[in-house]
């Protein structure tokens, strides 16, 4: 058994006891109540999910296992000479709740690289898909094609105990995670580089190997580590995390569950927003003939977008009520490495004008930028200008969090998710009775 799996196995009994105690001794304690607007309003703010992988405070932003982004960047071990920590170490933290040592990380790096070879049939599937298929369509197809490798399915069919479900789920999750960088880079080079593929180098860490297979020089390895870490998790209620969890509660294996989550990530209100930001910025640049707009000109672009009934991509959030620390971390990287970049200047200008306009418009509860407002700038600067690819990289990062969560769901025996629905007649009756 690998060191990581052993560590997980050692932690499971205590966690089961804590959850068991909550259900058995406090099962009737009221945590929250559902209001009418939440039923029609996407269950916003309803406290009805649990995860220990990360927590999103509306004012402070994300904490991964209790650590803020700056704390993770400072405390987590890094590859020799690197600025950004190992992705493998971040996965270790998400899964176990502990900051790994260099030695711990080394064993995860080896575990991942030993499982990273993508079967040839996955590439055949991708090559057979229509040329104009969206990269997220290719990404989900690759994941579902890999589902035949699931170890959970034969274990379930052979009658494995519910107590042991976490074990093949762990195996499936690591097998899938380890292959995602190569799948993503393959999709990129298939679609945009005439299928001129660059083979994986298993001696490299997760982030560096991705950069190598993309064919982009340093510091793209640093960007990849930062990008995957920042996008890994955002507690349980966002569409990709919730969908992966929901589908997983039907005991669909890690491949099906994660693919479902990735279909959710592909929506423009969620992960696709990063491509929408670049598309919007490109529109501005074209109209300006590649001249940086003045503040007044930018305000007009923003109002025109709002007045035509569209959202300003990369701004607002369902939970956050301040600038997203994931935005701030990427902004810092830009200030250090690409302060004169044309798109960075435009995105900075947006930061100056959009919040006031959204406040003036009076609709968005959070006028501040989210992660997606900044991530495309860095990608564009280092040559990844094909912005419809950005959500695939978001997906590779998101896998770290949602698969960690799925393993813990299985460890604690999370039930099939099945909330109750009511008809409009019933809700009207409840409303009438409440107003008597
Ligand atoms: N531009 C214009 N209007 C916005 C807005 C924005 N950036 N953000 C919110 N609003 C509007 C909403 O569309 C809504 O309008 P209606 O009442 O007409 O429906 C109103 O403000 C209230 O929305 P909210 O409660 O503030 O936000 P929600 O929780 O409903 O939605 C989000 C959150 C992210 C979908 C929304 O802010 C948005 O559409 N942002 C732009 C897309 C985006 O950047 N998505 C990425 C989020 C991060 C991620 O998941 O990757």
Q: Say whether 372 is catalytic.
A: yes
Atom 23, ligand 1: residue with shortest CA distance:
364
Taking residue 336's Cβ as centre, other Cβ atoms within 10 Å add up to 10
Q: Measured between alpha carbons, how far is 399 from 152 in angstroms, rounded to an integer?
A: 18
22-49 pLDDT, tens per residue? 999 999 999 999 999 999 999 999 999 9
Whole-number Å distance, alpha carbon 55 to ligand 1 midpoint, is: 20
Same domain membership, residue 278 and residue 219: no
Length of the chain: 436
Whole-number Å distance, alpha carbon 38 to ligand 1 midpoint, is: 16
Q: Say whether 167 is catalytic.
A: no
237-283 pLDDT, tens per residue? 999 999 999 999 999 999 999 999 999 999 999 999 998 999 999 89
CATH number of 281's domain = 1.10.230.10
Same domain membership, residue 282 and residue 264: no
Taking residue 168's Cβ as centre, other Cβ atoms within 10 Å add up to 20
Q: Measured between alpha carbons, how far is 232 from 399 in angstroms, rounded to an integer?
A: 7
What is the rounded average pLDDT for all residues in the chain?
Answer: 96
Same domain membership, residue 150 and residue 58: yes
Whole-number Å distance, alpha carbon 370 to ligand 1 midpoint, is: 10
Atom 45, ligand 1: residue with shortest CA distance:
269
Q: Is residue 421 part of a domain?
A: no
401-430 pLDDT, tens per residue? 999 999 999 999 999 999 999 999 999 999
Beta-ladder partners of 68: 63
Q: Is residue 420 part of a domain?
A: no
pLDDT of residue 411: 97
**pLDDT of 390 above 90:** yes
Same domain membership, residue 253 and residue 281: no
- Identify the CA nearest to 405 among candidates 267, 240, 266, 270: 240
Query: Which of 37, 266, 364, 369 to probe ligand 1 with, by most ligand atoms within 8 A of CB?
Result: 364
pLDDT of residue 289: 87
Torsion-angle region of residue 320: left (phi > 0), alpha (psi -120 to 50) or beta?
beta
Q: Is residue 39 part of a domain?
A: no
Q: Is residue 308 part of a domain?
A: yes
Q: Measured between alpha carbons, how far is 289 from 273 in angstroms, rounded to an integer?
A: 24
Place of tokens 């490798």: 149
> Does the beta carbon of 293 lie inside 6 Å of ligand 1?
no
Put simply, whether the predicted model's pTM sits higher than 0.85 gets the answer yes
Q: Measured between alpha carbons, how far is 271 from 204 in angstroms, rounded to an integer?
A: 27
Q: Say whether 32 is catalytic.
A: no
Note whether 241 and 405 are within 8 A (CB). Answer: yes
> Does the beta carbon of 47 lie inside 6 Å of ligand 1?
no
Atom 15, ligand 1: residue with shortest CA distance:
363
Atom 47, ligand 1: residue with shortest CA distance:
270
CATH number of 257's domain = 1.10.580.10
Same domain membership, residue 372 and residue 254: no
Residue 322 lies in domain:
273-381
Atom 41, ligand 1: residue with shortest CA distance:
313
97-121 pLDDT, tens per residue? 999 999 999 999 999 999 999 999 9
Residue 288 pLDDT level (bands cut at 50, 70, 90):
confident
45-62 mean pLDDT: 96
67-79 mean pLDDT: 96
> Does the beta carbon of 397 lie inside 6 Å of ligand 1?
no
Same domain membership, residue 3 and residue 93: yes
Same domain membership, residue 235 and residue 159: yes
Torsion-angle region of residue 65: left (phi > 0), alpha (psi -120 to 50) or beta?
left
Same domain membership, residue 105 and residue 227: yes
Note whether 92 and 72 are within 8 A (CB). Answer: no
Three-state SS sequence of the chain: CCHHHHHHHHHHHHHHHHHHHHHHHHCCCCCCCCCHHHHHCCCCCCCCCCCCCEEEECCCEEEECCEEHHHHHHHCCCCCCCCCCCHHHHHHHHHHCCCCCHHHHHHHHHHHHHCCCCCHHHHHHHHHCCCCCCHHHHHHHHHHHHHHHCCHHHHHHCCCCHHHCHHHHHHHHHHHHHHHHHHHHHHHHHHHCCCCCCCCCCCCCHHHHHHHHHCCCCCHHHHHHHHHHHCCCCCCCCHHHHHHHHHHHCCCCHHHHHHHHHHHHCCCCCCCHHHHHHHHHHHHHHHCCCCCCCHHHHHHHHHHHHHCCCCCCCECCCCCCCCCHHHHHHHHHHHHHCCCCHHHHHHHHHHHHHHHHHHHHCCCCCCCECCHHHHHHHHHHCCCCCHHHHHHHHHHHHHHHHHHHHHHHHHHCCCCCCCCCCCHHHHHHHHHHHCC
Atom 32, ligand 1: residue with shortest CA distance:
317
C-alpha dist (Å) from residue 419 to 39, 244, 246: 11, 16, 11
Q: Is residue 158 part of a domain?
A: yes
Number of domains in the chain: 2
Taking residue 100's Cβ as centre, other Cβ atoms within 10 Å add up to 25
> Does the beta carbon of 414 lie inside 6 Å of ligand 1?
no
Query: Which of 276, 313, 316, 350 to probe ligand 1 with, by most ligand atoms within 8 A of CB?
Result: 316
- Identify the CA nearest to 177 among candidates 226, 112, 231: 112
> Does the beta carbon of 239 lie inside 6 Å of ligand 1?
no
> Does the beta carbon of 191 lie inside 6 Å of ligand 1?
no
Given 234, 245, 317, 381, the catalytic residue: 317
Same domain membership, residue 104 and residue 249: yes
């Amino acid at each position: 058994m690998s060191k990581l799996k052993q560590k997980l196995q050692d932690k499971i009994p205590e966690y089961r006891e804590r959850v068991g105690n909550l259900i058995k001794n406090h099962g009737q304690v009221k945590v929250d109540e559902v209001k009418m607007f939440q039923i029609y309003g996407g269950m916003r703010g309803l406290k009805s999910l649990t995860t220990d992988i990360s927590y999103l405070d509306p004012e402070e932003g994300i904490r991964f296992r209790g650590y803020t982004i700056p704390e993770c960047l400072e405390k987590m071990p890094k590859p020799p000479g690197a600025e950004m920590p190992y992705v493998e170490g971040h996965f270790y933290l998400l899964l176990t709740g502990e900051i790994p040592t260099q030695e711990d990380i080394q064993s995860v790096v080896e575990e991942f690289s030993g499982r990273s070879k993508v079967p040839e049939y996955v590439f055949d599937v991708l090559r057979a898909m229509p040329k104009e298929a969206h990269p997220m369509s290719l990404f989900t197809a690759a994941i579902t094609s890999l589902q035949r490798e699931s170890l959970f399915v034969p274990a379930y069919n052979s009658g494995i105990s519910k107590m042991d479900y976490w074990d093949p789920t762990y195996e499936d999750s690591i097998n899938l995670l380890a292959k995602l960088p190569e799948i993503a880079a393959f999709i990129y080079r298939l679609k945009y580089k005439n299928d001129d593929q660059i083979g994986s180098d298993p001696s490299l860490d997760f982030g560096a190997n991705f950069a190598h297979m993309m064919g982009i020089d340093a510091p793209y390895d640093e960007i990849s580590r930062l990008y995957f870490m920042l996008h890994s998790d955002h507690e349980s209620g966002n569409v990709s995390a919730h969908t992966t969890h929901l589908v997983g509660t039907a005991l669909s294996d890690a491949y099906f569950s994660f693919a479902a989550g990735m279909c959710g990530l592909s929506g423009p209100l969620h992960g696709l927003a990063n491509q929408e930001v670049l598309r919007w910025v490109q529109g501005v640049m074209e109209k300006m003939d590649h001249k940086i707009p003045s503040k007044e000109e930018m305000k007009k672009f923003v109002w025109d977008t709002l007045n035509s009934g569209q959202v300003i991509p990369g701004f607002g959030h369902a939970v956050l009520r301040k600038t997203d620390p994931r935005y701030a971390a990427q902004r810092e990287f830009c200030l250090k490495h690409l302060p004169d970049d044309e798109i960075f200047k435009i995105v900075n200008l947006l930061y100056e004008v959009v919040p006031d306009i959204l406040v003036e418009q009076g609709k968005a509860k959070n006028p501040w930028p989210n992660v997606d407002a900044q991530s495309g700038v860095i990608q564009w600067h280092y040559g990844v200008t094909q912005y419809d690819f950005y959500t695939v990289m978001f997906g590779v990062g998101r896998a770290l969090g949602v698969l960690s969560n799925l393993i813990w769901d299985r460890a604690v025996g999370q039930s099939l998710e099945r909330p109750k629905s009511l008809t409009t007649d019933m809700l009207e009756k409840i409303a009438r009775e409440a107003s008597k």
